[in-house]
């Protein structure tokens, strides 16, 4: 793939070494280009890119509260429309906390009203910015500071909320899952999302060196393992039509993914088996 040359996220931002969230934005903006307005919910991304009085953004950027990125993106889209600027890409970014938990109602409203915008959830599966607290997107068995593993607990005891399918239930024209380890696939999806007339939603898996507990150099490798084990499926739903966009030739055992991260290292055989069963069911359901 010939990657667009331009960059719209400046270096000097405060993301950790090996930060996947920075890469999500870098790739998404490379694809959407200069003609983009960005809205971001509170979260790691906002904190690391806008240490006042500096900003890493090189497109117009608005940070709003945790819960209203969807509402503000709706307003921006309507304001641009009123000015006759309908060719501008409106992209909202939110982490899993800002999207799956706190911002869910405003995203739902934006999708329901049919605004011409793209919402990208960068999912690192916990509240990383505030100190690794569990979110609705934390997978079963993960140890976080509010679902710690120990003698009486194996960690998070609830399943991960299936946000892409919640978005699909809104009947919007474009929904996709993605991974930072598959940049061509992700950028192709950003292209489709921004070209879609109406709301589009992308849910991207973003390994977090600090919160998941692995060496910064492994960010991409672990994202790839997530996909290769079937833990993180890559698909899109275009006008109601479901399509798997990447199918591992042979799925690796999920234990390879789990053992690569500190948040899962406490899991015993029984728990690993339960997660493998969950992944097998998910893959069967999705046809992977």
Partner 1 sequence: MTTSVGCTIDKPGSTRVNKTGSWRTFKPILNKDKCVECDNCYIFCPEGSINQEYGIDYDFCKGCGICSNECPVNAIEMEIDN
Where along the sequence are the contacts to partner 1 (CB under 8 A)? 3, 5, 7, 9-20, 22-23, 26-27, 49-59, 183, 209, 215-221
Judged by beta carbon, residue 27 or residue 283, the one nearer partner 1 is 27
Judged by beta carbon, residue 58 or residue 280, the one nearer partner 1 is 58
> For strand 153-154 and strand 61-63, is the pairing parallel, antiparallel, or unpaired?
unpaired
Judged by beta carbon, residue 45 or residue 175, the one nearer partner 1 is 45
Judged by beta carbon, residue 52 or residue 249, the one nearer partner 1 is 52
Q: Rounded to whole angstroms, how far apart are CA atoms 24 and 26?
A: 6
229 in Cβ contact with 254 (< 8 Å): yes
Provide, rounded to whole angstroms, the least separation between the CB of residue 189 and partner 1. 15
Judged by beta carbon, residue 161 or residue 218, the one nearer partner 1 is 218
Got the DSSP string for 160-224? PP-HHHHHHTTT-SEEEEEETT-HHHHHHHHHHHHHSSS-EEEEEE---IIIII--GGGHHHHHH
Provide, rounded to whole angstroms, the least separation between the CB of residue 17 and partner 1. 4
Percentages (nearest 5) of helix, strand, coil residues in the chain: 40, 20, 40
Provide, rounded to whole angstroms, the least separation between the CB of residue 43 and partner 1. 16
203 phi and psi angles, rounded to 5 deg: -115, 110
Provide, rounded to whole angstroms, the least separation between the CB of residue 30 and partner 1. 9
CA angle 9, 15, 19 (to 5 degrees): 95
Provide, rounded to whole angstroms, the least separation between the CB of residue 16 and partner 1. 8
Provide, rounded to whole angstroms, the least separation between the CB of residue 140 and partner 1. 28
Provide, rounded to whole angstroms, the least separation between the CB of residue 67 and partner 1. 16
Compute the half-sphere exposure of residue 158: CA atoms within 13 Å on the CB side of its CA: 12
Query: What is the torsional sign of CA 69, 71, 72, 75?
Result: positive
Judged by beta carbon, residue 22 or residue 254, the one nearer partner 1 is 22
Judged by beta carbon, residue 116 or residue 210, the one nearer partner 1 is 210
115 in Cβ contact with 78 (< 8 Å): yes
């Amino acid at each position: 793939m010939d990657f667009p040359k331009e960059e719209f996220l400046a270096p000097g931002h405060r993301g950790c070494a090996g930060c996947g969230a920075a890469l999500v934005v870098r790739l998404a903006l490379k694809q959407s280009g200069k003609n983009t307005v960005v809205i971001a919910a509170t979260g790691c991304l906002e904190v690391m890119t806008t240490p006042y009085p500096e900003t890493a953004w090189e497109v117009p950027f608005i940070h709003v509260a945790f819960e209203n990125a969807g509402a503000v993106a709706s307003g921006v889209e309507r304001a641009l429309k009123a000015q006759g600027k309908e060719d501008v890409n409106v992209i909202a970014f939110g982490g899993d906390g800002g999207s799956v938990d706190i911002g869910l109602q405003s995203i739902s409203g934006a999708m329901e009203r049919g605004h011409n915008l793209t919402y990208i959830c960068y999912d690192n599966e916990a509240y990383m910015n505030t100190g690794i607290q569990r979110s609705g997107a934390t997978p079963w068995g993960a140890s976080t500071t509010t679902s710690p593993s120990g003698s009486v607990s194996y960690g998070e005891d609830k399943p991960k909320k299936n946000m892409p399918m919640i978005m699909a239930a809104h009947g919007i024209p474009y929904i996709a899952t993605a991974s930072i380890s598959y940049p061509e696939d992700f950028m192709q999806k950003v292209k489709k999302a921004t070209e879609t007339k109406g709301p589009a939603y992308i849910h991207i898996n973003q390994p977090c060196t600090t919160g998941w507990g692995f060496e910064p150099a492994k960010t991409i490798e672990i994202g790839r393992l997530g996909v290769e084990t079937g833990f993180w499926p890559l698909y899109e739903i275009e006008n109601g039509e479901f399509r798997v966009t990447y199918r591992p030739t042979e799925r690796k055992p999920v234990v390879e993914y789990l053992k690569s991260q500190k948040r899962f290292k406490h899991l015993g055989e029984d728990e690993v088996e339960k997660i493998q069963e969950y992944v097998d069911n998910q893959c069967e359901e999705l046809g992977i």
